[in-house]
Copies of this chain bind each other. A is one copy, B any other.
Amino acid sequence: MDEGLKRLRGFREIYPEEMSSRLKIFNIMRDVSRRFNFKEIDTPSLEPLELYKLKSGEEIVSQTFSFKDKGGRDVTLVPEITPTVARMVAQKKNMPKPIKWYSIPKLWRYEEPQSGRLREFYQYNADIFGIWTIEADAEVIALAQAILYHLGLGDKYIMRISDRTLIESILRRFDVKDVDMALRLIDRMEKIGEEIFIEEFGKITKEMDIMDFIRLKGDASTISKKLGGLIDDKYLKNIENLENYLKSYNYGNFIFDLSIVRGIAYYTGIVFEAHDVKGELRAILGGGRYDNVVSLFGGEKIPAVGFGMGDAVLEIIMKRENLWPSVDEKVDYFIAIQGDNRPFAIKISKIIREMGKVVEIDMGGKSLSNQLKTADRLGAKNVIIVGDEEKKYNIITLKNLETGEQVRVPIEKINEIVTK
């Protein structure tokens, strides 16, 4: 094939077998969202590039598929949907709160494709708008955990939770002046390694005791023991409540881990990431609270908390753990045709399709034995043979390929046989 006609790197063609697995996963996501009373929305795939300059930071803009459209406008394939969803909330005044929305859009990032990172991927997103307090953070994290639980991943990940306001209050306590720079460094701690991290962090503050706090991990009481008296109690009370709620939801493990800050600039409170317990993969999902985004679109300030989960890492971990669903939808009835009886066979196909069954009808004019081979290859549960005699007496010959049983049925009785 001409090189110029090939699929672009980092993009996928999804054949039926793979697609049926993916649809099953989407259906689980949709079903769990429904139970939590989240409603599905849909968003544009192309947006003004300016939308992402707002608060997402330059790192995301540099990774977009952006271009000038034919009207000379800077536009981009959407790299994330938070700004769009926030705009949708901002521009429809008077929607009763809380608003609980989810979506499963395709997103695009111009990055080097590698394991778990594609240029085009699906991302499940869910958000709650309108609640300032930790109750919404808990509901959103529980939703994320419930989805992972229903995908079979209940014990394959650890949810790592932190709170930006708490971290910032520690940083201030240690007289860190450039809080943004410190957060960026903490975010990159695992990537750059301990040594470089300490060196770089030493440029921000001389009080290196702070390292013990940044690396703090454990349950709320561990955090409280270490930080009590050092920062305002309200931060500690907040994570105690969150722990209490998440234990009540009881959908999976979690740990407070103050090294989690999340790269994206707009988070303002709780942040969280789910990681493979084996530590091999990128984050499975990530999210947090972003109370300042909706107001960027004018009007009132509306608090928000949400998360996103791409399908690439999810696929890798599910396949590794043998949890990737294999969906093998068989043909219920294969209609084989002898002689010149297609119109009659088509009528039979319609009766059975209208009963909701999967019906394949031979289109190739092959010999009966070849048609039966096709039925076999398709894994058909039943074959219906339609020939001159069947047509003459208005009957079908029905063979159950699982039991081998063969019967002749008048067409007005097909109903009874098929529903059985």
Contacts and interface: CB of A to CB of B under 8 A. Distances in A.
Given A139-B363, A245-B343, A350-B250, A7 B47 contact: yes
B342 A88 contact: no
Interface stretch (A63-71, A152-160, A253-261, A399-407): A63-71
Interface stretch (A12-20, A163-171, A264-272): A12-20
Nearest to A90: B1
Interface of A, helix, strand, loop or mixed by DSSP: mixed
A251 B354 CA distance: 11
A183 to B, nearest CB: 25
A35 B249 contact: no
Contact of A48 (B4, B34, B365): B4
Contact of A50 (B5, B131, B133): B5
Nearest to A49: B4
Given A20-B39, A329-B34, A347-B248, A46 B8 contact: yes
A44 to B, nearest CB: 4
A67 B76 CA distance: 11
A96 B364 contact: no
Given A48-B4, A88-B15, A343 B139 contact: no
Interface in A114-161: 119-120, 128, 131, 133, 135-136, 138-139, 142, 146
Given A131-B364, A139-B363, A12 B42 contact: yes
A356 interface: yes
A208 to B, nearest CB: 39
Nearest to A244: B343
Interface string A260-304: 000000000000000000000000000000000000111000000
Given A39-B16, A92-B15, A297 B5 contact: yes
Contact of A36 (B69, B90, B135, B359): B359
Nearest to A344: B248
Nearest to A85: B13
Contact of A11 (B44, B120, B347, B354): B44
Interface residues of A, number: 100
B249 A110 contact: no
A128 B138 CA distance: 48
Contacts of A2: 50, 298
Given A1-B91, A42-B12, A357 B48 contact: no
A133 to B, nearest CB: 7
A22 B42 CA distance: 10
Given A11-B47, A37-B331, A244-B343, 20 more contacts: A2-B50, A4-B51, A7-B47, A7-B87, A13-B44, A15-B41, A16-B40, A19-B42, A20-B39, A36-B353, A67-B67, A69-B110, A77-B77, A98-B363, A128-B363, A131-B364, A135-B342, A135-B363, A248-B350, A249-B346
